[in-house]
Amino acid sequence: MAESRKHELIQPRTLKGFRDFQPREAGAREELIDRARAVFHSYGFAPIDTPALEYLEILQGKGSEETDKQMYQFEDAGGRRVGMRFDLTVPLARFAAQHIGQLGTPLKRYHVATVWRGENTQRGRFREFMQCDFDTIGTDNLSSDIETALVIHDLFLALGFEDFRIHLNNRKVLTGLLETLGLAEHATAILRALDKLAKIGAEKVQAEIVAATGTEPQAAEQVLALCQLTGTNAEILDAVTELVADSETGRRGAEELRRLLAALDAVGVPEARVKLDVAIARGLDYYTGTIFETFLGALPDIGSVCSGGRYDNLAELYTKQQLPGIGASLGLDRLLAAMEELDMLTSTETPAVAFIPLFDEARLHDYLRLAAQLREAAICVEVYPLPKKLGQQLKYADRRGHRVALILGDNEFAASECQVKDLATGEATAVPLEENAASLIAAIRGLVE
């Protein structure tokens, strides 16, 4: 040992914004993804994957100036300019342009993968993080918008949330209003200001709009009026419809919202979980119709945990084929943080419910054979790898979160039975050992459920 310490030790550390996941955290994340995946599958969304690295020209200038600056890029060993994906939307656009001919439309896919952004870190904001997107592309029919909302609704139920609210808006409403006010060209700046409404208040937003666009305060006030409507969804919808009556685009937006709300109601989504909210804008300016943001009732401050919307033309930079679509992104990191805070994570350090102490090393083959039988019955089981004292092995099993220990020593083998010990209560019951281990399997299942 002393020999090996002669060299300088390298300080183990991770890059800014990059992090390790310990078993508990990684387990929680995988469980979350598993549940989301089950919901996607239930609607017929199929998985895809794309490379982490793309030709730089594919990624550059696609998100915004900001994402260009934040993109990790370099020259590979073959002299190619490459970039690491900073979201899953741009790769999807490239993917669709390249393969839509074979796949046909509409294409429903989901994509859970790591993305990278070299931006400044903050709590809940990292340089390497995972996105979980699902999209329906190749159709502009409103039924896809409806389905997207239903998927979002089911996602949160599947994750164990009861108290959440999907905020709905339609970009056409605001666009329509801005058209009638002659402010269409300032849409982006105004949206950006509106996004801060909840944070900085109406007065400051109005001031920011006036400052950014040089428009009259009255016009800014009208924009704000649209965003500050209160009441039931039906009341807000009526008021919105009236405010945008002069604009063809605005009227269509209001109509789409009306149909969307009606459909969700018809399917049985509780009104309390849906909120017509004309103030949500999403920073991104590529959305053109329906917009979603989702907030947790218990933790509204962490922001939207599932956002998305409709876009007119996903892949126009890569193909002449018009590909409208709609999709949303589940905020895995935020959700994980929220679930941690709300104590909703059940993940333990071990995925194995059962634990077999290596009590008598001479019996290793028996232990391994038994473990194999349990695994065949879909019971995850770990055999301790060294013959320590039983007490120490049980301590290990307890710490790791195993639910049941199967104790098998000379006495048990002689009596042809197995001690099934519930690690939560400490109670042990003797179960007969059989050729097919049926009683044992039943006993473990009985304890675990």
Footprint on this chain of RNA (rule: CB under 7 A): 11, 13, 15-17, 19, 64, 66, 87, 117, 119-127, 129, 131, 192, 195-196, 199, 282-284, 303-305, 307, 329, 331, 333-334, 359, 388-392, 394-399, 405, 407, 409-412, 419, 421-426, 428
For the bound state, the minimum distance from the C-beta of residue 237 to RNA, rounded and expressed in Å, comes to 25
For the bound state, the minimum distance from the C-beta of residue 448 to RNA, rounded and expressed in Å, comes to 14
For the bound state, the minimum distance from the C-beta of residue 131 to RNA, rounded and expressed in Å, comes to 6
- Of residues 239 and 381, the one with the C-beta less far from RNA: 381
CA atoms of 2 and 395, how far apart (whole Å): 31
For the bound state, the minimum distance from the C-beta of residue 105 to RNA, rounded and expressed in Å, comes to 24
For the bound state, the minimum distance from the C-beta of residue 357 to RNA, rounded and expressed in Å, comes to 9
For the bound state, the minimum distance from the C-beta of residue 435 to RNA, rounded and expressed in Å, comes to 21
- Of residues 113 and 428, the one with the C-beta less far from RNA: 428
- Of residues 191 and 237, the one with the C-beta less far from RNA: 191
**Three-state DSSP string of the chain:** CCHHHCCCCCCCCCCCCCCCCCHHHHHHHHHHHHHHHHHHHHCCCEECCCCCEEEHHHHCCCCCHHHHHHCCEEECCCCCEEEECCCCHHHHHHHHHHHHHHHCCCEEEEEEEEEECCCCCECCECCEEEEEEEEEECCCCHHHHHHHHHHHHHHHHHCCCCCEEEEEEEHHHHHHHHHHHCCHHHHHHHHHHHCCHHHHCHHHHHHHHHHHHCCCHHHHHHHHHHHCCCCCHHHHHHHHHHHCCCCHHHHHHHHHHHHHHHHHHHHCCCHHHEEECCCCCCCCCCCCCEEEEEEECCCHHHCCCEEEEEECCCCCCCCCCCCCEEEEEECHHHHHHHHHHCCCCCCCCCCCCEEECCCCHHHHHHHHHHHHHHHHCCCCEEECCCCCCHHHHHHHHHHHCCCEEEECCHHHHHHCEEEEEECCCCCEEEEECCCCCHHHHHHHHHHHC
- Of residues 126 and 318, the one with the C-beta less far from RNA: 126
For the record, the structure tokens of 24 come out as 């508990």
- Of residues 108 and 334, the one with the C-beta less far from RNA: 334
For the bound state, the minimum distance from the C-beta of residue 225 to RNA, rounded and expressed in Å, comes to 23
Burial class (CB in 10 A: 0-12, 13-18, 19+), 443: buried
- Of residues 79 and 426, the one with the C-beta less far from RNA: 426
For the bound state, the minimum distance from the C-beta of residue 288 to RNA, rounded and expressed in Å, comes to 15
- Of residues 258 and 282, the one with the C-beta less far from RNA: 282
- Of residues 39 and 237, the one with the C-beta less far from RNA: 39
- Of residues 244 and 296, the one with the C-beta less far from RNA: 296
For the bound state, the minimum distance from the C-beta of residue 360 to RNA, rounded and expressed in Å, comes to 8
